[in-house]
Chain A
């Protein structure tokens, strides 16, 4: 029997009262499991955490390593979207923690009338107005304008400050102080020259193609730097990052990790 059919037999879809019964039943079971888990000794708790981590990872690992048939799927493939949804839903449940963090800090500010408490009022009011109008009045001009004209404008404004910061960063950093700083500066200047008409005009007397010299056009040099030097350097850096990510993922998955969060035993 296929795993998917087995699962649908084990957990048949229910409707009406049986559904409500099942939902309540699951909740009661969860509460029971909660206290059962808590009764475990510390060593077993550690194993529960390690086991949950391992099993969650095992699904994706198995699904990938299990040879696929001619149709490009294996017996686990059907569950990939569902497991992806589970991950999404679990992450979504953490939302309350974030909102509680905001409410705690800013609610405190307001309650104790700390300096700048008015700002905290604005923050909380903004949150309520946006959430309520989004959840219940989604089709209104009010919500659309709040989202597009206000929130999006703020996003774009903050993003645009980068134009200023990039100027001051370049002005300060691109000095001929060391070999490294100089190399960075030269590369940046050549690439920027290749982008503006004035820079392109510098070497525009060289024919665009067909001549050996055309490689010396500013735009060609700039392209060469970006596609050869830059691409190769980035690729090598990313190899290291890839291996590093693989290593820490393996350590976390197999509970071999040591350091913050992992070394302490569950009390």
Chain B
């Protein structure tokens, strides 16, 4: 047997162990890997940076525990950016789990920026019917959501919910960002994007991201974060402009992502090299 034969049949458990080790080390030890900020993430960042401060931003989340690895960091950088710029925002969701996960994230970040629920941010809650809801908010947000989801206060009660001051429909929004593993963006583009001056940005999982270039190219979407990589690029921009003092989880996470992809390259290379070498060896044996 050829001495390179092992490269073709490495026990899977060894592969798993190496991957796990790379992830743990990558998270613990800051590895300075180059990170190119792509045009899509930059465009989204610029849109949030230039969003009018006197209007309400809308962050729609549709992710659940299963895709939080990518979608949670994306939500976090967007919320941090909005809070740093003191833009009030609203949360909404088309996924029941997501409305809780995003609310918890917002509750975690709010104290750091002095955000108060009802004054600086609000949770509209969850709706199952995508098309109906989106068609509804184009006409009237208070009629569509009726109350906030935390305390069931009518959205028109401005004394208790000053955050809703001057917000009637999508025309009164400053920017819309959806963070989602599913294809809801089509409904946004069909029903909402044309109705409002607010720009529309996206945080898709990296599986879904390639679908979106088309829409960015067509100007229907201002920009996006390509999965976890996009979130890290966005975080890089936030560090550069001083919004963030130190890198967070996202920047840490990008090193193990890159390392694991490199591992995959190495493994595929090894497997093929071994196969090639063994095959050649066999040919020579025959010849001799």
Bind each other: yes
B229 touches A195 (CB 8 A): yes
A224 to B126, CA, bound (A): 36
CB of B271 within 8 Å of the partner chain: yes
Given that A195-B206, A196-B258, A223-B210 are known contacts, is A175 also in contact with B272, CB under 8 Å in the complex? yes
B24 to chain A, nearest CB (A): 13
Given A156-B68, A170-B268, A175-B272, residue A200 in contact with residue B210 (CB < 8 A): no
Would you call A174 and B268 a contact (CB within 8 A)?
A: yes
Contact assessment for A175 and B214 in the assembled complex, using a CB-CB cutoff below 8 Å: no
Residue ID in chain B nearest A161 by CB atoms: B16
How far is B278's CA from A176's CA once the two chains are assembled, in angstroms?
Answer: 13
Determine if A198 and B36 form an interchain contact, defined as CB atoms under 8 angstroms apart: no
Per-residue CB contact flags for chain B residues 100-129 toward chain A (1 = under 8 Å, else 0) read 100000000000000000000000000000
User: Which of chain B's residues 176-235 have a Cβ closer than 8 Å to chain A?
Assistant: 206, 210-211, 213-214, 226, 229
> Is the pair B210, A167 in contact by a Cβ cutoff of 8 Å?
no
**Assembled-state Cα–Cα distance A223/B272 (Å):** 26
Of the candidates B34, B68, B262, the one whose C-beta lies within 8 Å of that of A201 is B34
Q: Are A197 and B33 in touch, CB under 8 angstroms?
A: yes
Closest to A153 in B: B65
Tell me, in angstroms, the Cα distance from A156 to B263 when the chains sit together: 23
Bound complex: CA of A34 vs CA of B65, how far in Å?
Answer: 44
From residue 122 to 162 of chain A, which have CB atoms closer than 8 A to chain B? 148, 152-153, 155-156, 159-160
- Is the C-beta of A53 less than 8 angstroms from some C-beta in chain B? no
A152 contact set on B, CB distance < 8 A = 65, 97
In the bound complex, do residue B36 and residue A200 qualify as a contact, i.e. CB atoms below 8 Å apart? yes
Secondary structure type dominating chain A contacts: helix
The tally of CB-CB contacts under 8 A between chains A and B is 90
Query: Is B261 in contact with chain A by the CB < 8 A criterion?
Result: yes
List chain B residues, Cβ under 8 A from A74: none
Say if the beta carbon of B267 comes within 8 Å of chain A: yes
* A239 smallest CB distance to B (angstroms): 18
Inter-chain CA distance A231–B208, complex, in Å, is 12
Assign chain B's interface to a size class: 35 or more
Query: When the two chains form the complex, which single residue of B38, B213, B263 contacts A167, counting CB atoms closer than 8 Å?
Result: B263
Give Cα A195 to B70, complex, Å: 14
Q: How far is the CA of A195 from the CA of B229 in the complex (A)?
A: 8
Q: Does B10 contact A (CB under 8 A)?
A: yes
* Residue of B15, B65, B206, B214 with most chain A CB atoms under a 10 A cut-off: B65
Which has the most chain A C-beta neighbours within 10 Å: B68, B263, B265?
B265
Cβ of B66 under 8 Å from chain A: yes
Cα distance, A176 to B262, chains bound together (Å): 19
Residue from B15, B39, B206, B276 within 8 A of A171 (CB atoms): B15
A-B contacts, 13 listed (Cβ < 8 Å): A152-B65, A152-B97, A155-B65, A164-B15, A167-B16, A168-B16, A170-B267, A171-B267, A174-B271, A175-B271, A196-B258, A198-B262, A223-B210
In addition to A192-B261, A195-B206, 16 A-B residue pairs with Cβ atoms within 8 Å of each other are A152-B65, A155-B65, A156-B66, A156-B68, A164-B16, A171-B264, A172-B271, A174-B272, A189-B268, A192-B265, A197-B33, A197-B36, A204-B36, A219-B38, A226-B213, A227-B211
> Lowest 5 CB-CB distances: which A-B pairs, in order?
A226-B210, A152-B65, A168-B12, A171-B267, A197-B34
A residues sitting closer than 8 Å to B (CB atoms) are 148, 152-153, 155-156, 159-160, 163-164, 167-168, 170-172, 174-177, 185, 189, 192, 195-198, 200-201, 204, 208, 219, 223, 226-227, 230-231
- B residues adjacent to A (C-beta < 8 A): 8, 10, 12, 15-16, 19-20, 33-36, 38-39, 65-66, 68-69, 97, 100, 206, 210-211, 213-214, 226, 229, 257-258, 260-265, 267-268, 271-272, 275-276
